[in-house]
């Protein structure tokens, strides 16, 4: 087992534990049972022992294993989070040109909050990529389990599209494999996997849910919109953003060697995308799950059953687009997202969501 002390992507005054037991995610009812056990009081026949061991060098060696960094110019931004020293060590002596930003650990986050999916926090990284003429920029969150990528033109690559990009190399070696996405992921990402011969599999948002499902299916790859990437074909199936970055650069190298272009070419070939951002709608914790239940009943009453996915909230998929409403795992909010094949289809999805929310007693002005 293992315990990591982390506040995840929350502000610096938050802290908590991420627990692994018997190589499995430890969450939900497991945590509740542990709390009840502790409340009853614990007794031990004898004291345990502790030993302090540094695995830092071994970890860096493992990250580099079977990775070809190519000759790219890359800018890395760790935002004064925990990944900083490891990134400095990782890029030292490898091929290519690497510039690192804000690698000193400082929980006050003096330069910007380390959230690699927030365009505002990627502003400095984008500027540095542009000034350096770099191939791409890579950013991390505070505890190094989420990754954000921008291409040389400044376009942000969402977590679902990054997962789809990584799947191309994996599906070459694992024909027909299932690739997991969380329910917030775009139909664009799912279509990329289908076209590459894979089977996209939608699952519940949340790193614990994704890791558990990855093991159950024996899948080689999973990813979330939020930038959690789980690679299991040649790694351990947990969300290590530094390893995801290594695999991303190695895949870029292989694409260039095959004459298949790079990240910008990949993005250029995608169809136009008409999507909303991830919208957070205030809803008290003691009400949000009941609201989602009402929404699922409402939508199931007016739409065909085969168009509705209830694995995490309600996701409606039609021939012209999709929309999602679910309860946030981490805050008093509902999370909404939609995509359409064109602007008109997207507007229709937003209007449908708005109508359903109002019927359920929730006020939303749209994205």
Q: Catalytic residues, which ones?
A: 8
Beta strands 221-223 and 178-182 are parallel
- Give the sign of the dihedral formed by CA 68, CA 72, CA 73, CA 76: negative
Q: In whole angstroms, how large is the CA radius of gyration of the chain?
A: 21
Residues 117, 360: Cα–Cα separation, whole Å: 30
Residues 18, 24: Cα–Cα separation, whole Å: 11
Helices (H), 52-115: 56-64, 84-91
3-state SS assignment for residue 273: coil
- Of 275, 289, 248, whose CA–CA distance to 69 is shortest? 248
Residues 358, 364: Cα–Cα separation, whole Å: 8
Residues 239, 227: Cα–Cα separation, whole Å: 9
* Distances in whole angstroms, Cα of residue 48 to Cα of each of 44, 45, 51, 223: 9, 10, 10, 38
Residues 159, 166: Cα–Cα separation, whole Å: 11
Residues 15, 137: Cα–Cα separation, whole Å: 28
**Torsion, CA 181, CA 186, CA 190, CA 195, rounded to 10:** -150
* Distances in whole angstroms, Cα of residue 164 to Cα of each of 114, 172, 181, 196, 324: 24, 13, 9, 9, 20
Residues 258, 198: Cα–Cα separation, whole Å: 21
Residues 231, 240: Cα–Cα separation, whole Å: 8
Residues 303, 299: Cα–Cα separation, whole Å: 6
* Distances in whole angstroms, Cα of residue 170 to Cα of each of 166, 174, 180: 7, 6, 13
């Amino acid at each position: 087992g293992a315990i990591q002390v982390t506040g995840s992507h929350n502000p610096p005054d938050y802290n908590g534990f991420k627990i692994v037991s018997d190589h499995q995610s430890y969450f939900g009812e497991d945590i509740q049972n542990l709390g009840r056990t502790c409340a009853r009081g614990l007794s031990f026949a004898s004291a345990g022992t502790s030993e302090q061991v540094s695995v830092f060098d071994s970890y860096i060696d493992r990250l580099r294993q079977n990775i070809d960094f190519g000759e790219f110019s890359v800018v890395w931004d760790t935002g004064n989070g925990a990944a900083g020293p490891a990134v400095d060590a990782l890029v030292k002596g490898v091929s290519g040109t690497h510039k690192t930003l804000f690698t000193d650990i400082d929980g006050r986050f003096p330069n910007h909050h380390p959230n690699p999916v927030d365009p505002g926090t990627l502003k400095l990284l984008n500027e540095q990529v542009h000034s350096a003429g770099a191939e791409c920029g890579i950013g991390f969150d505070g505890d190094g389990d989420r990754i954000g990528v921008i291409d040389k033109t400044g376009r942000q690559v969402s977590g679902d599209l990054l997962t789809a990009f990584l799947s191309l190399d994996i599906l070459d070696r694992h024909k027909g494999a299932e690739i997991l996405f969380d329910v917030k992921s775009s139909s664009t990402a799912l279509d990329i996997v289908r076209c590459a011969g894979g089977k996209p599999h939608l699952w519940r948002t949340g790193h614990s849910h994704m890791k558990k499902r990855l093991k159950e299916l024996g899948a080689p790859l999973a990813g979330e919109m939020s930038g959690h990437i789980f690679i299991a074909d040649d790694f351990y199936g947990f969300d290590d953003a530094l390893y995801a970055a290594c695999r991303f650069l190695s895949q870029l190298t292989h694409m260039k060697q095959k004459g298949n272009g790079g990240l910008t070419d990949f993005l250029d070939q995608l169809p136009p995308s008409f999507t909303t951002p991830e919208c957070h709608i205030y809803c008290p914790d003691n009400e949000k799950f009941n609201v989602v239940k009402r929404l699922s009943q409402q939508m199931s009453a007016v739409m065909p059953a085969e168009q509705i996915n209830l694995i995490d909230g309600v996701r409606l998929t039609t021939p012209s687009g999709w929309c999602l409403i679910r309860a946030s795992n981490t805050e008093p909010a509902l999370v909404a997202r939609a995509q359409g094949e064109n602007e008109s289809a997207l507007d229709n999805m937003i209007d449908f969501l708005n109508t359903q929310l109002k019927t359920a007693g929730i006020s939303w002005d749209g994205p």
